[in-house]
A = this chain, B = another copy of it.
Amino acid sequence: MTNKLVNTIQQFKLFKHCSGSFHQSLASQARILDLQKGKLLFIHESEAERFYIILNGWVKLFRETLDGAQAIIDILPANHIFGETAIFQDNKHSYSAEIVEQANIISLPLDLLKSEIESNPKLAISMMSSMAQCRRHQSQELENRTFKNAPQRIGCFLLRLIDPDQSGSVSIHLPYDKTLVASRLGMQPETFSRALNQLKKQINMNVNGSTLKINNVTDLINYTCSSCSSEFPCHELRS
């Protein structure tokens, strides 16, 4: 049991350069969580004691504005780590986290991570690389918001769900509610619905509920990525 966990933990790029003993002490203090849709993991500004690794499922990170709207920071899939940045923010979470699709999550103590970062430069470097990547991702997101219209943003979202070296015809299943995809992309559900229809017409795509079939990925790329500052596969897999 714990062995399997150590194994899982050491596979993460972030922990690649850490000692076995660190992996073990992480594992020994790990909790495995099985969480249902809707579960709030922690809230913005709360005291942070643990960070999390997603084994599967989807987790929404968000904040709430004074007038009640939700600002979605990101919606993370398996193999992503979150909550760890509280280390640099006074041990306060800078967002809330909610399960949006049933998830298995490992929770680990922050203090262990913190002390290791302070003593292991290689881990520190890994950590910085992952933060740098996150930053690039964020600035791309802002760029998308500035230059892409609704159908293109949806296209970009879909491309991220596709294995980058896939080509030709692909079938995609939306990983969570359309309403949520919409707000992740900064648009209204109605707009999402209409924009998806436009996209369907622009490129050759079939829509069946949450299942989309794209007959030619290249068409999607051409349609979507023309207003980007980087060429297609512009997204890297974090982990």
User: A24 near B: Cβ within 8 Å?
Assistant: no
Within 8 A of B (CB), among A49-86: 63-67, 69, 71, 73, 85
CA distance A65 to B146 in the complex (A): 11
CA distance A44 to B64 in the complex (A): 35
Residues of B within 8 A of A228 (CB): 65-66
User: A226 near B: Cβ within 8 Å?
Assistant: yes
User: A131 near B: Cβ within 8 Å?
Assistant: yes
Could you say which interface size class chain A belongs to? 35 or more
25 contacts between A and B (CB under 8 A): A65-B143, A65-B147, A65-B229, A66-B225, A69-B147, A71-B139, A71-B142, A87-B128, A88-B125, A88-B129, A88-B131, A88-B132, A88-B133, A89-B136, A117-B121, A117-B124, A117-B128, A124-B125, A128-B128, A131-B131, A134-B135, A135-B135, A138-B139, A142-B142, A142-B145
